Chain A
Amino acid sequence: MTTTMTTPATFMVENCAMPFCKGCGHSHVLRKLNDALTKLQIPPSKVNLVTDIGCIGLADAMFETPHTVHTTHGRSTAFATGIELADSVLSDSKLKTIVLIGDGGAMIGLLHLVNAALLNADVTVLLCNNFLFGMTGGQHSAFSPLEFITPTTPDGNIIPPIDMCRVMMDARAEYVARKLATDKDLGEVIAEAIQHPGFAMVEIVELCTEHATGKNELTGNEIRNVIEEQGQEFGILSSATSRAEFGVLYADKNPRDQAYASEKGDDGIIPQYQSTLKQQVGIVIAGSAGERVQSAAKKLCEAAVVSNLHCTQKNDNPVTQGSGFSLSEVIISPNEIFYTGIETPDAVIVVSEDGMNELHEKHLLDRLTKSTVLILDSSLMKPHTEANIIEYPFRKEFGGAKAAMKAIEFYVKQSEVFPVEALAPVT
């Protein structure tokens, strides 16, 4: 009987028969991983194997005691990253997550590998590179050497292989190694990678005995040459520890404070005035981006709430938020507001040319009736409309940035929708 305190003799299923083809590199990798875990004496409950799709994804069943999470193709590193982020920030950061992924999955999930490396999440990726997609029939992958013959490159591969170790180092991974599955010291290197605080990647070059040999005259001894001929090095290519793990940096910036209620320091408004408004009114405010149109509309809403009214506010602007028109639609009402659109506005406030153009564009001015108040900056051309037009030189007198707010103040005074003092605490 074992306890979690003693070193388990193995993490694997006893006498397990490997499900791989005879001579497949995956069998070596899993045995060496087991050696590494045994050597490191990590309690099995703190070991988590996250597997990808493909032959290497059959690894789960070989392991008796660690957690295993079998995921989708290419995504294993992303799931592993989520587990480790939560473990490091929300838990005790004791879990060790190891990803087993093939060369096919590594290219699908390139983004996930890159981001795990950038984050420096405590994930160890064992990338089993056998130059091809084994499970689906040996199709070539982004790792296939030039001239490699596969069912999908019958005349030899013409696309150069990716150097994943270099990609990982460019993504600031600090532990990066390339080994052969048959290397005697593979177990030690895997152990080092797992122990490394933060992201680590070991590319393990191996042979798919089912698909890689035969047409390619490839043997276990020759794959070292194949890799070296394409300018890729073997060995531990980086083992620095200059960067702290993500969880450490995050905790530094965001110290734990569970007492911080979500509403703490919040901007609740206490109604202080009463409005005599009997019916809902819809107000459209149009001006230019950067001239505080939407924030003035927000102040109108705040003042409405101070006056014990309900309100809604919708904003609109061009996709590039810093130029062109800026528009707000505000509804204020003594009763609950259901529909939040404004069919026929009760008031329209226009303080710039951009705003006017947009209202024309929206055909909003066509919808105005005799009972609509149209408050215009004096600089603007009067549109043809039945609305009751009031002009005032807001821009000239107060400048562009204050025009919207002053026009709103003017409207509140003129319409008496609520006491104008209600604007005071907010203007």
Chain B
Amino acid sequence: MNHTQTSIKLRTGNQMIAEGAVKAGCRFFAGYPITPASGIYKSMIELLQRKGDLAISSPDEISALAYCVGASLRGYKAMTATSGPGWALMIETVQYALMTETPLVIAMVQRLGPSTGGATQGAQGDVLLTEFCTSGGYTIPVLCPSTPLECYELTVLAFSWAELLRTPVVILTDKEVGMTTESVNYEQLQLLHAAERISHLQKPTNGRDKAKTYEFSRLSDIPKFAPVGGMLKVTATGSAHNKSGELKKNDAETLEVLHHLEEKIKRRKDGLAIVKRDVEPEANTLLISYGITARAMEEAIHIARKQGRKVSGLHLLTLFPVPEKQILNSLGQVKRVVIAEENLSGQYRSVISHLMKTQEVVGINKIGSMITPQEILKEVL
């Protein structure tokens, strides 16, 4: 290892989410303070205000997200950050963003729940609350970084996905990832470029051009975006609507729109999956984890191999849409799948265990402190 002449910075995951957001072209942030997510708010105030872009406080989390939706409708990349108690308040507006196909990024830094829970304690207990928060059960893409570097890179990606898919995207971390300061080698940052939403051309027209706000031909197509305030008339609504954005009840086109909202994500699910695979062909055990616990898993794998034991690992960097193909491809000959996550009941395990048809599935679950490498090692065959 030789760092000579490289620039290292001490950064938290929260700070790196903020830097990633600015890199991705985020120009609007509305925030409400909450431990352990406040670091993102503070960094966005610093980074955006000095550029003349907009970072602003809101009087509550509902307003924070509504301000972001408004800014995105106006045509600008927007983000907010919160934790479980704030997320609970935002769910109404997350659904609104999904229904109105408004690009949006929300950083969700988990802490111990339920209710106000433990403000300064980490947890991975909001996985299901984050994903299954919509009436109708629509897929919200969820990225799950475990290091400051991943926080940066996955945030850039979150913006690309939000913009290209015209949908809210969540970056799900926790107190340990968000608030731990680490040495970050900036040379290792991948040169990422965030995508822009695909927009209608804004040329002066005679009168108001009539483009349908939610026009698509195939169900999975993404409607071209037009900003509120642009030349094309926008008809946005959170109520069931046809492609023109007109409020309708159960007509064929409206149902088509409701199918489209899910289909545009589902069709692309294999491309919306990122995992780190560390597979040994003769291993009997496959470890699966994500976020902060994936780092304990990686250390456990390291220790096991030093002891001459064979073990495979699958580190999930995206949780939803479920990376089914990548999980199935990692199973190989293993007899046992061990899923480690810092929550009471094995939330993600309940989502993926049906994929393991012949393997024994074991959960490592805990609340109150991080799962340790030793706790994971114990379950390796």
Interface residues of A (CB under 8 A from B): 1-4, 44-46, 48, 58, 60-61, 64-72, 75, 78-87, 89-91, 94-95, 111-112, 114-115, 250-251, 253-258, 260, 262-263, 266-271, 298, 301-302, 304-305, 308-316, 319, 334-335, 337-341, 343
Docked Cα-Cα span, A302 to B184, in Å, equals 11
Question: With an 8 A cutoff between CB atoms, is B231 at the interface?
Answer: yes
Contact B206 A82 (CB under 8 A): no
Contact B66 A82 (CB under 8 A): yes
Which residues in B have their C-beta under 8 angstroms from that of A267?
9-10
Contacts A257-B50, A339-B298, A340-B180 given; 19 further ones with Cβ under 8 A? A46-B229, A67-B234, A78-B62, A82-B68, A82-B71, A83-B228, A85-B70, A95-B74, A95-B228, A250-B54, A254-B49, A260-B50, A260-B51, A301-B181, A301-B183, A305-B183, A308-B2, A337-B182, A339-B295
B60's contact among A4, A111, A304, by CB below 8 Å, is which?
Answer: A111
Q: Which residue of B lies closest to A5 (CB)?
A: B204
**Which of B19, B54, B370 is most buried by chain A, counting CB atoms within 10 A of its CB?**
B54
Contact A268 B237 (CB under 8 A): no
Which residues in A have their C-beta under 8 angstroms from that of B292?
340
Interface string of B66-77 (1 = CB under 8 A from A): 111111011110
Q: What would be 22 A-B contacts, judged by CB atoms less than 8 Å apart?
A: A46-B229, A61-B247, A70-B236, A82-B74, A83-B73, A85-B67, A86-B76, A89-B54, A91-B229, A111-B60, A111-B62, A111-B63, A250-B56, A271-B4, A302-B10, A308-B1, A310-B183, A312-B181, A314-B179, A338-B373, A340-B176, A341-B296
Contact A78 B67 (CB under 8 A): yes
Contact A90 B369 (CB under 8 A): no
Question: If A69-B236, A269-B7 touch, does A85 touch B63 (CB 8 Å cutoff)?
Answer: no
Q: Which residue of B lies closest to A308 (CB)?
A: B3
Which residues in B have their C-beta under 8 angstroms from that of A319?
119-120
A339's contact among B1, B229, B372, by CB below 8 Å, is which?
Answer: B372
Question: With an 8 A cutoff between CB atoms, is B308 at the interface?
Answer: no
Shortest B54–chain A CB gap in Å is: 4
Contact A2 B71 (CB under 8 A): no
Docked Cα-Cα span, A304 to B3, in Å, equals 12
Shortest A85–chain B CB gap in Å is: 6
Shortest B147–chain A CB gap in Å is: 9
Question: With an 8 A cutoff between CB atoms, is B302 at the interface?
Answer: yes
Which residues in A have their C-beta under 8 angstroms from that of B7?
268-270
**Which of B23, B59, B179, B246 is most buried by chain A, counting CB atoms within 10 A of its CB?**
B59
List B172-192 residues whose CB lies under 8 Å from chain A.
176, 179-183, 186
Q: Which residue of A lies closest to B9 (CB)?
A: A268
Shortest B77–chain A CB gap in Å is: 10
Question: If A72-B96, A269-B7 touch, does A79 touch B73 (CB 8 Å cutoff)?
Answer: yes
Contact A254 B73 (CB under 8 A): no
Question: With an 8 A cutoff between CB atoms, is B128 at the interface?
Answer: no
Shortest B148–chain A CB gap in Å is: 10
